[in-house]
A and B are shown apart, each in its own frame.
Chain A
Amino acid sequence: MAAIQMRGVKVGAMRDVSFTVVEQVDWSVAAGEFWVIAGQQHSGKSDFLMMTAGLMMPVQGSYKLFGTETQSFGEAELAERLRVGFVFEGGQLFNRLTIRENVALPLQYHRDLPSAAAAQEVQTLLELLELTPLADITPPNISDNWRQRAALARALILKPEMLLLDNPLGRLGGRHLHWWLQFLGRLGHGPEWCGGKPMTLVATTDDLRPWQGARRKFALLRDKQFVPLGSWNDVASAGDPVVKELLAVPVETTM
């Protein structure tokens, strides 16, 4: 069974569903695959990813998440939604909670645990993501790099089967970028702390260069169209000017 299966899907903007950002999407993602969706700024990547996470319904078409049709995605299908973790661009952490509380919140809420009972699991994840020294600080007091990493910890605390990341490398410095690529690679192989099952990963980006990798599959959002590109070799040899721009290859322009 495909983790994601879209047929003729039309995606509306999160703020105004009547405004179409992507249409006629036919896309399947098998469990354990690693997809990178590239697109220029304001090409609808975030809206597309939020629809993929089940945060809004497709305007048109059929979208099955783990085999469940998302047209009726409500409270009853919450269990399916919780199989998906989501990392927002910039983190979107809760500013009044500390990093530890941010990470613990989904665990405490969905398992109805007091903070003491959730502490050990939270601490393990904080250590794994090297966030322990920042655990008792609120998000406005740490840098973008660490906020993004804390958002990753929050998304992973419920051990999702699929992780959606909205431009995760967009605001990172060099050291953090390297760490992220390595960590996502490990998630794709199935880390022990997560049950050893390879995690399905979908990330969006406006810069393809850091994502070079043999195991990854690529797609492009341009002119409201979803264009599957294939492997990295296909991306590197693509003649599409938008792809070249996202690879920072000089594009010939006519004046």
Chain B
Amino acid sequence: MREHLAKAFELTDTQLFRRAPLPKSYTDFLGRKLFLLLLTLQGLVAFALITLGVILRKSGVARNVIRPRIRQEIARAGVALLPMFLFVALALGFLVIGQTVSALAKVGATRYLGSTMVIVIVRELGPLLAAMLVLARVGTAHVIELGTARALGEVEALEALGIDPVHYLIVPRVIGMAAGVFALTVYLIIGALGSGYLWAFLQDVPLTPGDYFKQITEALNWLDFALLALKTVAFGFFIAIVTCYHGLGQPLRLEDVSRVAVRAVTQGVIVCVLVDALFIVLYLLT
């Protein structure tokens, strides 16, 4: 167990580089940053592969312990965030859909409403916003919890008890967050589309609910559903990997935890944007 983790982190012990004095030349600075980026990327990929390996290899191990933990994580990364997501869905509907519907109605282009909504809300804004909110609310908590557990020696305690820390601490968080981001994105999209019509209705836009939802359903195809599911699960998986990697990855002192949390959130945002870019390419290719 420890050896697996060590493999992921031994090459990414970047403290040495971070503590080195600032280089004099700009190219040295860029080189160091690039080197750091590659090392971090290597560590993250190794950690993701280790986690996937444990998920597959230990799917039947200690179910009575792991399943309740997965349920807890789904509740935390999904159910507990529902009120906040309802509020955001209302706001999103107002900010994007209400405004768009109103603007399209003024130029008599309401027939493009469905495809506009699908592109803006279903494909892009809904999943990305859901991922960012989950990263901010739950991802940060992951880093702090795991970092504190590591600093207090709880990981060593798990190993002493013969319990794989990746299986007990990481797997439930990864599965919980993947399921949570997927479910919350669906709720966010439904809520935003619904509230968007509400705002349009309040602005006296001449559009019946039947026409509005007909346009949206006509603009959607099976690929949207498939890629939406894949994308949101990927967001959840990678957010959990990045935050857990930083929390559990390196031996931490308590005073390091806040600094590591900031770095994890920044990298989480970057990873989400990269995953999103990958899916945009997929949409364009299909």
Contact = CB atoms under 8 A, between A and B. Distances in A.
Interface of A: 14-15, 50, 53, 55-56, 74-75, 78, 81-82, 86, 88, 90, 92-95, 105-106, 108-110, 112-115, 154-155
Contacts of A53: 160
Interface of B: 1-3, 61-65, 149, 152-154, 156-157, 159-164, 168, 251
A15 B156 contact: no
B168 A109 contact: yes
Contact of B163 (A15, A92, A95, A106): A106
A249 B151 CA distance: 36
Given A108-B62, A110-B162, 16 more contacts: A50-B156, A75-B164, A78-B162, A82-B162, A86-B160, A88-B160, A90-B153, A92-B152, A92-B153, A92-B156, A94-B154, A105-B65, A112-B64, A113-B64, A114-B64, A115-B64
B63 A14 contact: no
Contacts of A82: 162
Contacts of B154: 92, 94-95
A91 B62 CA distance: 24
Nearest to B1: A75
A234 B168 CA distance: 46
A178 to B, nearest CB: 26
Contacts of A14: 156
Closest 4 CB pairs of A and B: A86-B160, A92-B157, A92-B153, A106-B161
Contact of A154 (B152, B153, B156, B161): B161
Nearest to B153: A92
B65 A108 contact: yes
A68 to B, nearest CB: 14
A50 B156 CA distance: 9
Nearest to A114: B64
Nearest to B155: A92
